């Protein structure tokens, strides 16, 4: 069976994706700032949408297979694809906000996790480990030879963290991104014998580990979107869009291209030339 073709971007196309990434950074900044006790997830969606509109960008989530909002808001046991609505955030909730932006036909995609009000230390650990795992995966995109090296690095880091083990979801993975939000190749978040395609200049990848405090089994709710853990355990998602070019890598959805978080991992990102 033939593998889906990977879209290799030119530097100019990746620079446009960086523009989409910069808009997305501002929109996520606003959404994260709005996530506080007493606000509904629909109100957070409106805040995010307003930033896109002001920048002249469009949402790649709204209308995607009829998805009704500009972000996914996944709260507590909701893993991914939560639909913003009348759910009111409460003190101690953990919420993953996943969004994207399109500029001149080119996409960006990023997710952050926020703990509302007072954090349960185990929820904070979950978020911290997930975020750190993402950065280890991004570093592997710079140092590795194959796409599979990204998942191996994420898995190895998560397995190395002391304390109660955290589960890595296997049903939902990262992906290529470019003129469409979801493209080849799949970017697994766990170690496997399958190396995947070679990492090459022109690839743009959305790297997005999803971790849970309990079992990795999930179920989709009746809205056909919201995915929850079957055991009700809390979950977390972090995501960045990363460009690979001839000079190195650049994190398109990080303000500094990922420099501050990649330096301790021995990687110096380089802006797209």
Q: Is the pLDDT of residue 1 over 60?
A: no
175 labelled ligand-binding: yes
Cβ atoms within 10 Å of 175's Cβ, excluding its own: 19
109 labelled ligand-binding: yes
pLDDT one-digit tens code per residue, 112-127: 999 999 999 999 999 9
Dist CA 20 CA 253 (whole Å): 8
User: Which residues does residue 183 pair with via DSSP β-bridges, in sequence order?
Assistant: 176
The arithmetic mean of pLDDT across residues 104-117, rounded, is 98
107 labelled ligand-binding: no
Record the tokens describing residue 51, joined without a space: 């930033």
Under DSSP, is residue 240 helix (H, G, I), strand (E, B) or coil? strand
Dihedral angle over CA of 136, 138, 140, 142, nearest 10: -140
Is-contact 140 132, C-beta < 8 A?
A: no
pLDDT one-digit tens code per residue, 198-238: 999 999 999 999 999 999 999 999 999 999 999 999 999 99
What is the residue-averaged pLDDT of the chain? 97
Cβ atoms within 10 Å of 158's Cβ, excluding its own: 21
Instruction: Kindly report the pTM of this predicted structure.
Output: 0.97
The residue among 136, 122, 110 whose CA lies nearest residue 52 is 110
pLDDT for residue 2: 62
pLDDT for residue 4: 83
pLDDT one-digit tens code per residue, 20-44: 999 999 999 999 999 999 999 999 9
81 labelled ligand-binding: yes
182 labelled ligand-binding: yes
239 labelled ligand-binding: yes
Q: Is the pLDDT of residue 259 over 80?
A: yes
């Amino acid at each position: 069976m033939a593998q889906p073709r990977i879209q290799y971007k030119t530097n100019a196309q990746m620079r446009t994706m960086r523009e989409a990434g910069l808009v997305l950074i501002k929109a996520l900044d606003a959404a994260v700032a709005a996530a506080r006790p007493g606000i509904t997830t629909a109100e957070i969606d409106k805040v995010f949408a307003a930033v896109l509109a002001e920048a002249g960008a469009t949402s790649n989530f709204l209308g995607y297979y009829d998805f009704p909002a500009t972000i996914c808001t996944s709260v507590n046991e909701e893993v991914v694809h939560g639909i913003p609505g009348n759910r009111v955030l409460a003190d101690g909730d953990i919420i993953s906000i996943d969004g994207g932006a399109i500029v001149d036909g080119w996409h960006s995609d990023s997710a952050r996790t926020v703990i509302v009000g007072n954090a349960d230390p185990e929820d904070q650990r979950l978020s911290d480990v997930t975020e750190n795992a993402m950065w280890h995966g991004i570093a592997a995109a710079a140092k590795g030879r194959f796409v599979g090296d990204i998942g191996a690095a994420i898995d190895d880091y998560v397995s190395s963290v002391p304390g109660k083990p955290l589960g890595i979801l296997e049903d939902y993975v990262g992906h290529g991104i470019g003129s469409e939000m979801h493209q080849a190749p799949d970017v697994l978040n766990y170690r496997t014998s399958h190396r995947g395609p070679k990492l090459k200049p022109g690839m743009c990848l959305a790297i997005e580990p999803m971790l849970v405090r309990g079992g990795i089994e999930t179920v989709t709710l009746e809205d056909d979107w919201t995915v929850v853990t079957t055991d009700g355990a809390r979950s977390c998602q972090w995501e960045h869009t990363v460009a690979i070019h001839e000079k190195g890598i650049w994190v398109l959805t990080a303000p500094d291209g990922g420099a501050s978080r990649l330096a301790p991992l021995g990687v110096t990102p380089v802006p797209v030339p």
